[in-house]
Chain A
């Protein structure tokens, strides 16, 4: 099975710290999409970002930034100056021709 690996099960930081969530994916396809989703305590997954396999440009959106490196099959997510409201489970996902596969998730706790 072509996996998506989020090696960090849980991360705890203090407010205003920067934090990076790691994601490594596998796929046999040349065309694929990568995503990050946030699942707050309320339970509903919220889309954060999508990148396609042909676009390796890094992206910044406010305090969020994403680093896509095809050479290492990684798609890491950084939150700058974390806030308590960032506390959630974050999922990395990969969609290719076969399926949509999610990582196991990283639970981020931001303490005041």
Chain B
């Protein structure tokens, strides 16, 4: 099986712009969650989607949003980018039929906001 695929791998944007990141989960995994990783704040949970519905949301402003499609692929959008949004954005998928709650992570999208 292919792993979790995130595109693009690197992205450079300027303040005020908006960005959309994409995540394709492992085939059969219906849960997709997003995380922001920065040197200062560590790994922070953004939100989780299951069957096209947001299940949980972390403590991030409304500029951060996401969605999930019927094929379980997910996108994350950040509007009105700020310098502090520069981070590695990680996507993870999970097989909700399994009992181990194991997350499979992608390699991430490195976003730089200038």
Contact = CB atoms under 8 A, between A and B. Distances in A.
Contact of A45 (B48, B57, B58, B90): B90
Interface of B: 33, 35, 42-45, 48, 56-59, 88, 90, 92, 100-108
Given A33-B101, A93-B43, A99-B57, 11 more contacts: A37-B105, A43-B108, A44-B105, A45-B90, A45-B92, A52-B101, A98-B56, A99-B58, A104-B42, A105-B42, A105-B43
Contacts of B43: 91, 93, 102, 105
Q: Tell me which of A33, A42, A43, A105 has the highest count of chain B C-beta atoms within 10 A of its own C-beta.
A: A43
Contacts, number: 50
The 5 closest A-B pairs by CB, nearest first: A102-B43, A45-B105, A104-B42, A47-B102, A33-B101
A100 B107 contact: no
B45 A101 contact: yes
Q: Tell me which of A43, A93, A98, A99 has the highest count of chain B C-beta atoms within 10 A of its own C-beta.
A: A99
Contacts of A45: 90, 92, 103, 105
A102 B105 CA distance: 14
A85 interface: no
Contact of A1 (B33, B59, B106, B107): B59
